[in-house]
Amino acid sequence: MIRRPIALIHPTGNPFARNAAISLGEAGLLQEVITTIAYNPEGSISQYFKLLPAQIRNRITNELGRRTWISPNGVAMRSHPWGEAMRLTLLKTGLSRGFGFGSQGPIDWVYASLDRHVAKHHIQGLAAVYAYEDGAATTFEVAKQQGILCLYDLPILFYRMAREIQQEEAERFPALSASLQAVREADWKLRRKEQEVALADHIFVASSITQQSLLREGVSPDKITVIPYGAPIEYFQPQPKLDRTFRALFVGRVGVRKGVHYLIKAWQELQLPQAELILVGVNEFPETWLSELPHGVNYIPSVPHTTLNQYYINANVFVFPSLVEGFGLVLLEAMACGIPVITTPHTAGPDIITNGTEGFIIPIRDSEALKEKLEWCYSHSQELAEMGRAARRKAEQLNWGMYRQRLASRVQEIVNYLNT
């Protein structure tokens, strides 16, 4: 059994980090969670928001609602909010771009700052630290000096494979190259990624494609565990579609990395009657690129996550032709709503669906394959509906409870083995 506890570190919080914390907490392995902003709607600070004018109160609570993170089973929740609060302020005021921090603000500084703080103040007396990409280098370095195990979670392709794909895409589409972040990442950030992988005692990934990106770098297979993320089956559920329009849906960052330009090309060439393609998410294309969308393609900027269900249930098929991905939680959200998916091997598609049963897996960069599958979906409504039912059944099997069970069991095995 474990001799000492684990700390989990994630700077911004997200569904997979929160479920990892619940997993380790339920197993009695977790001592504390360390993050920047962890909002508890029932906490004492939320009571003070009632004193604010309604408009201001609603804006604050809507933003904080995205950062809800409640301590699992009484585990200590350590928040260090000021750096992240400053970043969000820069974004909301529009100053981020003016200062040259781009569309995400100084996110690298937030990650590195929390990493340094954890290394200095939070790891004494631990058995292990569980940390995520870009936020673990300094913590792992100090942990190694103290004989503390370093458990690493890599949620997307290792950077070399990701950069190669995006560099190739920049050569194919020079006008879109400015929107490809990985082509321009600083050398210091890439060295941090290499350091994190080298120092990690074990690496958790959510898909086979992420595992492949590490194996290419010579990482031992024994050092990697693949555990797919879970489907939010309680929140996202099938509902009757309210109209007869054939609708293909994409949800995510609308840009080159996600292969959206190939999807738009395929849709434009198909010219399907009584059909539309909906793109939902933050625009990552050059500023004016989406202003010239072809007929039948509608773009909807980023919407609250709580409203996504209505987009899924009004779709016939979910299309996610990503070039660089680690998983794609939106795939499981769509499947939970009973929507079949079309995706690529560079997502978790091969790990969560059987090609031709819950959807289709097509090559990256293949507009012709997209056209073929979309046309099949359009003309085979009954078979497509059965695919949707199969997708829901698979989502029910791949729930977050299963993810938590598998993660806790594997962490316990690793800690016991490496401590012997």
Residues of the chain with pLDDT under 50: 1-3
Q: How far is CA 235 from CA 63, 148, 332, 375, 394, in A?
A: 20, 37, 12, 30, 16
Q: For residue 2, what pLDDT is reported?
A: 47
Beta pairing partners, 31? none
- What does the alpha-carbon distance between residue 34 and residue 124 come to, in Å, rounded to a whole number? 14
Which candidate, 117, 384, 326, places its Cα nearest to that of 205? 326
Two tokens at 103? 């569309």
The CA distance from 1 to 6, in Å, is 13
**Which domains does the chain possess?**
6-230+400-418 (3.40.50.2000), 246-397 (3.40.50.2000)
- Separation of alpha carbons 255 and 253, rounded Å: 6
Residue 220 neighbours by CB under 8 Å, 6+ apart: none
pLDDT of residue 185: 80
Do the beta carbons of residue 108 and residue 87 sit within 8 Å?
no
The pair of structure tokens assigned to 414 is 């690793």
Contact in structure between 290 and 261 (CB atoms under 8 Å)? no
**In angstroms, how far is CA 66 from the centroid of its own chain?**
14
- Pairing assessment for the beta strands 6-9 and 76-79 based on DSSP bridges: unpaired
